[in-house]
Chain A
């Protein structure tokens, strides 16, 4: 158990809908990262937050947005869903964004999203 909690574990929704994925980081971790893994794309970095502020942005679509709340949990909002958004979405956390010991990035078990 990495200590990173993601909900829901599985979600099935229709095209055009909107969903929210939730992530609770490890206790004491200030940095949260979101990744998308689809069959043909591998693990893609979406976005990172540090202590409530956006820190880095990757290949995140405009239909997607995220935020980190004062209690440090994070939500990834996916709207106007398309079939191609079906994927496994991972959240990860670390104490800070620095490398080295004490700042390892740990991943949750992911949220499976199926768009039908």
Chain B
């Protein structure tokens, strides 16, 4: 399974953009990058995913570098409710079940 590296924690001011980096230097060509977050002890919540191109949805934007070795999740206007642990995951290929292997994630604190 391709591993990811994320900062342990980050702070962000409310209303500002939160930029969460992730390194995945061993990613293979057909592996997707997924982002989830977990608020307190709730079930992990899907945010966004991508393969090669940048992606945007109602929650966030995902910027993937051209060599695919790193990505950045952008929360454009962070609110206090965005305080959570954010996980960057390279999803296992289909022949390995397509499972998600979680690392330690980044604990994002959004402050007033």
A interface residues, Cβ below 8 angstroms from B: 2, 4, 31, 33, 35, 37, 42-45, 48, 50, 55-56, 58, 88, 90, 92, 94, 96-101, 103-110
Contacts and interface: CB of A to CB of B under 8 A. Distances in A.
Nearest to A43: B102
B91 interface: yes
A100 B32 contact: yes
A48 B97 contact: yes
A90 B51 contact: no
Q: Is the interface of B mostly helix, strand, loop or mixed?
A: loop
Contacts of B21: none
Given A104-B46, A104-B49, A106-B46, A98 B94 contact: yes
Contacts, number: 81
A4 B49 CA distance: 20
B16 interface: no
Contacts of A100: 32, 49, 51
A43 B97 contact: no
Nearest to A107: B43
Nearest to A39: B41
A107 B99 CA distance: 12
A13 B13 CA distance: 43
Contacts of A103: 98
B28 to A, nearest CB: 11
Contacts of B98: 31, 94, 96-99, 103, 105
18 contacts: A31-B97, A43-B87, A43-B102, A48-B99, A58-B101, A92-B44, A98-B94, A98-B98, A99-B91, A99-B93, A100-B51, A101-B49, A104-B34, A105-B46, A107-B36, A107-B43, A107-B46, A109-B42
